[in-house]
Structure 1
């Protein structure tokens, strides 16, 4: 199993943990399927009324899709098979509140998850970045999520600067991506405290409020997602050239970037 799910029926809270620390919690096809199944399962689990989402290992919350995962693509520029499109709670029709607890790196495809939680609590050592442009790829779905959670200029800077710049937890808090910053190791506890409060309230009122909040974002995301396949098809370098850039710059990952 690449996903850990711990349920606490007494508090009504479940903790979902991405459990591939050796891969910085990158998402392969198995993890994507397990995430979708977990979210859909919670819809029928009346004992669970709120969820905390986190990553194992302390070095990364999630670093997006595992580049070793082979995903055949359709030949049409208007279609794309993206396994990350179904990894979030809203994509699986779950309207129970989900709170993310982030420590370490959160980058690239991590925003498919962070874009579908109610709010984010981050440790002081968390950093946020999107490597797509660095490696010749269009940030489409990720940018759509960022643009609905951040001021436009901040979303644009994060998406465009690639690996050259990482947004600190403190800056993410200042711009609204993160709602609370904790000492390292305390982020899950803080998220649990919020989740337990939400789980103690009448569930219909909480889920209705989640749904009401989401209606303000869903139209913008739907419109952006409709454009994403052909923007990716037009703008991405061929896979082999992406791999060349990834190999060349990946050796220096962690060096030469700026944290703000």
Structure 2
């Protein structure tokens, strides 16, 4: 009789272990069913997307996505500021760099680089700069970040950077890439812009590149969304579509 309580407790312990394992198995089964449901459910509903306008780069992708998925209602927020994907309620965001946040998942969309451009007429009148220091005598058109108000720093290689204590002339400042490109094409100065934004202007001769070997490497566009066990069909549809099509607008 004295052994009964010990044996009883031993069985209780084994039962608890067995029950916990059963719970884990049932949880995995439920997760698998949820994933299958997510993959088979037709994408539909409101999808809030945050993205930089980026000289119109996302628009052909957005248009094609709307044609492919007419039951998804897009809510687009164009901004260059660094949004909080989760706290601001975004389903998915496209950005020109990877957002380092453990709460987020991301996939790369394609690379891009900055380039210095000016119109042929401007370069004929003012001369072609041979090194970054030559820009000190040129008209420079600058981009201002909307979120910080700071000027975008032209990404010169360290060994070719302008000497400390000297800064580029500030002929004009704006927070819109299209305005920079327009004014550069109009001969108002040299601008530093993403290569994909001026590929047509370079191809048809409205702009020329300068100091092509003086800038450091570029960055990569990413599509970002909140991490969760189950990925909503509308989010999966947008992410897969962006990965497949976004790079078509970039410079190969």
- Report the structure, 1 or 2, having the larger strand content: 2
* TM-score bin (small chain): under 0.3
Q: Does 1 or 2 have the higher relative contact order (CA < 8 Å, sep 6+)?
A: 2
Structure with max Cα Rg? 2
